[in-house]
Amino acid sequence: MFSHDERPYDWVGAWSQKRARLSPDSVGLVDATTGERFTYAELDRRANRTARLLREFGVEQRAQGEDGERVAVLSRNRPELVDLFFATAKTGGILAPLSHRLAAGELVEMLDDVDPALLVVEEPFADLAEDVLNHERRNFDCSVLSLSTQDGADSSDWETWASALPDDDSPVETAEISMDDPHVFLHTGGSTGIPKETVLTHGSLLWNSFNTITAWGLRPEDVTPMVFPMFHTGGWNVLSVPLFHLGATVVIAREFDPSEVLRLVESEGATVLVAVPAVLRMMANHDDWADTDLSTLRFAKSGGGPCRESVMEAWWDRGVDLSQGYGLTECGPNNFTMPEGWPREKADSVGVPVMHADARVVDDDGTELPPDEIGELELASPHAADRYWRNDEETEETFGGGWVSTGDLARKDEEGYVYIEGRKKNMYVSGGENVYPAAVEDRIADHPKVEEVVVVPVPDDQWGQVGKAVVQGDESLTLEELTEFLDGKLARFKRPRHLDFVAEMPMSGPSKIDRQAVKSEFGEK
């Protein structure tokens, strides 16, 4: 784990007040759902009101050097989440946004772990929250506030956010916090299936922001539609916090669909866009694609999984510099960048490490491998998370060696470009040969009848394991047709021996395929 400076300074956590002083009239946040626009001066005043509210509910640092109390949130992207980010920075509290896509039983376990002093629930998720609060396994105890929807509807019996929010928006006394103090909890998957809370300190948030600005060339005049949910690292660390750092503009909405993102790119003059491959594909396939003005976009990035070559070419054909990124909640997530003038033949890579990050590829013994050999990717940077909350065993496994163990397989070429080969746990052995599903899926996805594909291993009497391609797309595709298509593109042992179809891939996150669900359903012949 990287050690930051433990001394408290007034500037630590002073995101909104510092930005408001430097660029008070610049628009920092646009709510596309309501049409509201907030300057940095307004955001700081909102943060002051929210900080006073948090202190009424005890969401603050109790003593210098101690972890602050937590506020958990069950909500879609709203200005109040940004208010809570800036306000917890002022009070020394910790913001813990939760996925509203989880089941009540999962949320109970997570909230027992987080143990919040306050739970904020957007009205559409009131029934889910009631199920959590009435759950037989619930151990946590906290106050609850309800966030009304745009039309003011609120059917819950809880006190509302609007009625509890103080009117006083004058500057508040800020906590004495250091770079090592926690600021945000973001949950990520665990080996037992139960999400873990990753502890992001003020220092790790700042360093990821700094790395992103310097490596990606972000500017104060930049504008982005934020298509990631704010319970996800993408909602905060990919672009929101770096752009807040600069005094730029973030556009949010309760729901995003491809046509809405295209509309906002044009109407807001978006200059940067980061999205998962599925969103980028849906935008490129949308009826409005050809007529949308994309000329303001300096670059776009894909993250959260491999981006198919056909998708990248669709964006390149429109003059947009699209490249792939890579990150994880535990580190960054902005760890790589493409150098200026990068060659298109490197498009399958995620680039080279950003300014203040190192990457290496190691074998099972932790020995660094030579170029083009596949092993586990490890990262080191001051933007790495601090630990998993109340989980010493998994903290030691991921953060214990001075490098962050990603669990992802990768290789590094002679020029230092890194290529992600898939999850370590997804690799399988067929006839003594290692097969990395991501590489197989990339080739299958080039077939015109394939929209999306996941390759899972199935038992085989001769080879031990072989691949099964689970395809979302045209079900007239046959295994013989696919095998012929892959001839010359993949070694014989890598080609799938079975083929199956799904109407729609199961998702585990923001347009992220749930590979485990696919494997559970199709991992037998």
Separation CA 471–CA 4 (nearest Å): 46
Architecture of domain 41-177: 3-Layer(aba) Sandwich (3.40)
Q: What's the half-sphere exposure (Cβ side, CA atoms, 13 Å) at 400? A: 9
| CB within 8 Å of 379: residues ≥ 6 apart | 331, 332, 335, 357, 358, 359, 403, 404, 406
Instruction: Give me the amino acid identity at 388.
Output: Y
**Among 95, 142, 187, 225, residue whose Cα is nearest residue 391:** 187
3-state secondary structure 353-400: ECCCCEEEEECCCCCECCCCCCEEEEEECCCECCEECCCHHHHHHHHC
Which pair of structure tokens corresponds to residue 192? 């037992």
Tens digits of pLDDT across the chain (525 residues): 455 667 778 899 999 999 999 999 999 999 999 999 999 999 999 999 999 999 999 999 988 878 999 999 999 999 999 999 999 999 999 999 999 988 888 899 999 999 999 999 999 999 999 999 999 999 999 999 999 986 556 667 899 999 999 999 999 999 999 999 999 999 986 544 567 999 999 999 999 999 999 999 999 999 999 999 999 999 999 999 999 999 999 999 999 888 999 999 999 999 999 998 888 989 999 999 999 999 999 999 998 878 888 899 999 999 999 999 999 999 999 999 999 999 999 999 999 999 999 999 999 999 999 999 999 999 999 999 999 999 999 999 999 989 999 999 999 999 999 999 888 888 888 877 778 888 899 889 989 999 999 999 999 888 888 999 999 999 999 999 999 999 888 888 899 999 999 999 998 765 678 888 898 899 876
Residue 153 confidence (pLDDT):
60
| Strand positions, DSSP E, 18-129 | 27-31, 36-39, 70-74, 94-98, 118-122
| Strand positions, DSSP E, 381-477 | 387-388, 404-412, 418-423, 428-430, 433-435, 450-460, 464-473
Residue 194 confidence (pLDDT):
67
CATH 3.40.50.980 location in the chain: 41-177
Separation CA 339–CA 337 (nearest Å): 6
CATH 3.30.300.30 location in the chain: 427-522
Would you give the end-to-end CA distance of the chain in angstroms?
A: 43
| Length of the chain counted residue by residue | 525
- Beta bridge partners, 324, equal 302
The answer to whether 374 touches 416, Cβ cutoff 8 Å, is no
User: Is the previous residue joined to 370 through a cis bond, with omega within 30 degrees of 0?
Assistant: no
**Among 480, 360, 347, residue whose Cα is nearest residue 408:** 360
Superfamily of domain 427-522, CATH level 4: ANL, C-terminal domain (3.30.300.30)
Separation CA 34–CA 25 (nearest Å): 20
Residue 191 confidence (pLDDT):
45
Separation CA 308–CA 9 (nearest Å): 46
CATH 3.40.50.12780 location in the chain: 255-423
In degrees and rounded to multiples of 5, residue 426 shows phi and psi of: -90, -15
Residue 144 confidence (pLDDT):
98
Q: What is the DSSP string of 214-278?
A: HHHT--TT-EEE--S-TTSHIIIIITHHHHHHHT-EEEE-S---HHHHHHHHHHTT--EEEE-HH
Helix (H, G, I), strand (E, B) or coil at 7: coil
H/E stretch holding 199 reads: strand 196-201
**Token pair 């990035």 in the structure block, residue:** 301
**Among 211, 268, 274, residue whose Cα is nearest residue 245:** 211
Q: What is the DSSP string of 313-351?
A: HHHHHTT--EEE---BTTB-S--EEPPTT--GGGTTS-B
Instruction: Give me the amino acid identity at 303.
Output: G
Which pair of structure tokens corresponds to residue 156? 């819950």
Residue 119, CA distances (Å) to 58, 64, 112, 143 in order: 12, 24, 12, 6
**Among 496, 409, 510, 408, residue whose Cα is nearest residue 454:** 496
Which pair of structure tokens corresponds to residue 294? 């994309």
Q: Does the domain spanning 255-423 belong to CATH 3.40.50.12780?
A: yes
H/E stretch holding 213 reads: helix 202-216
Cα torsion 244, 249, 250, 254 to 10°: value is 130
Which pair of structure tokens corresponds to residue 135? 């759950």
